[in-house]
Structure 1
Amino acid sequence: MAPVVLVAYGSTYGSTAELARTVGDTLRKAGLLVEVRSAGLVRDLTPYAAVVLGGALYAGRWQRDARRFARRHRAALARLPLWLFSSGPLDSSAAQRTLPPPPSVRRQAHRLGARGHITFGGRLDERADGWLAHRIVASGKGGDFRDFVAVSAWAEGVARELRTLTAPQA
């Protein structure tokens, strides 16, 4: 059976889940077998040959399910090829330049031996629950700043790397 790539995500309002589905679709188009799942629902990593883990950023920290996933599966993730992504800036900064991961995500990437990390723009609109989310949107700072072309391009790079890792050795 061909190796399966897990794309796991921590998402509160669905924006990061949509980014994860885009990553998964791009990896599939590159010929890889992929499962896209909420990080909170994954209990075992043994079926997977590689992992892409994404989390929505809130005040410089990943969404709770992404943090818990990284902590719960730390030993397995350290043995698997791993890429990380974050989503969250509610402006065009992620599209204009490479943003470094927040310190908490940078520490996770280092601990887990991640092969790479990227930050994509986020989305926050009037459908979001909560007082703070409504205040942000009402202040005019909400919107959709995701760049799906950039997400696909990044995932194509992950696919190229995965193919070189899994290519038969001569």
Structure 2
Amino acid sequence: MTTKVLVAYGTTNGSTAQIAEAVAEVLRKEDLTAEALPAGSVARVDPYDAVVVGGGLYAGRWHRDSRRFLRRHRRELARRPLWLFSSGPLDPSASERDIPPVPGLKRAMTRLDANGHVTFGGCLQEGAKGWVARMIIKNGKGGDFRDFARIEDWARTVADELVAKD
């Protein structure tokens, strides 16, 4: 039987969605069934054998849709393999060192017995929504700091752990 994986995400400008799609694509290449969906659109997680949840970081907090997803589905998530990722630093720091989860997410990880967390670089480019985002770009602090090779490597480790559990 093929393991079915949900990759849920919270995003404002689409960067985290692209990371989630890349994770789901790697999982599919590893012979798992995976789909990436916006966290706010997921009504049930019981059809899935495992879950990956990603959230963009905004002012030191995980994206609201991702936080709500963890709260809304906490009972089901506690009974299946769970991995989490954050995206956000607008500099190369996420590729240079391990960045721990923000405090609220760290507490959720403990409660849900998550298998792991990783922080990837973020992306903020011209046309981004929100006044703060526009000011960041105007001040020259935007850019694309996602490392898709690192994202794909991490997704392969998730796949390897899932296959090992079968």
1:1-40 mapped onto 2 (5 Å cutoff): 2-40=2-40
Query: Quick one: which amino acid aligns to residue 43 of structure 1?
Result: A
Structure 1: 5+ residue stretches without partners: none
CA drift of 1:27 comes to: 0.5
CA contact (8 A) 1:53 1:83 kept: yes
Whole-angstrom distance in 1 between the partners of 2:35 and 2:125: 28
Whole-angstrom distance in 1 between the partners of 2:40 and 2:56: 13
CA drift of 1:149 comes to: 0.3
**CA-to-partner distance for each residue in 1:7-52, whole Å, 9 max, x for gaps?**
0000110000000000000000111011111100001111000000
1:79 matches 2:79:
yes
Partner of 1:117: 117
CA contact (8 A) 1:10 1:40 kept: yes
CA contact (8 A) 1:26 1:152 kept: yes
Query: Quick one: which amino acid aligns to residue 59 of structure 2?
Result: A
Look up the SS of the partner of 1:7 in the other structure: strand
Look up the SS of the partner of 1:140 in the other structure: coil
**CA-to-partner distance for each residue in 1:120-156, whole Å, 9 max, x for gaps?**
0000111101211110001111000000000000000
Identical columns (%) = 58
**CA-to-partner distance for each residue in 1:75-122, whole Å, 9 max, x for gaps?**
000001000000000000000011111111111111111000000000
1:87-166 mapped onto 2 (5 Å cutoff): 87-166=87-166
Partner of 2:44: 44
TM-score by length of 1: 0.96
CA contact (8 A) 2:62 2:102 kept: no
Whole-angstrom distance in 2 between the partners of 1:44 and 1:95: 33
Look up the SS of the partner of 2:78 in the other structure: helix
Query: Quick one: which amino acid aligns to residue 144 of structure 1?
Result: D
TM-score by length of 2: 0.98
Query: Quick one: which amino acid aligns to residue 7 of structure 1?
Result: V
Q: After the TM superposition, which parts of structure 1 deviate over 3 Å for at least 4 consecutive aligned residues?
A: none
Whole-angstrom distance in 1 between the partners of 2:43 and 2:49: 15
Structure 2: 5+ residue stretches without partners: none
CA drift of 1:73 comes to: 0.2
Query: Quick one: which amino acid aligns to residue 65 of structure 2?
Result: D
CA contact (8 A) 1:60 1:104 kept: no
1:59-70 mapped onto 2 (5 Å cutoff): 59-70=59-70
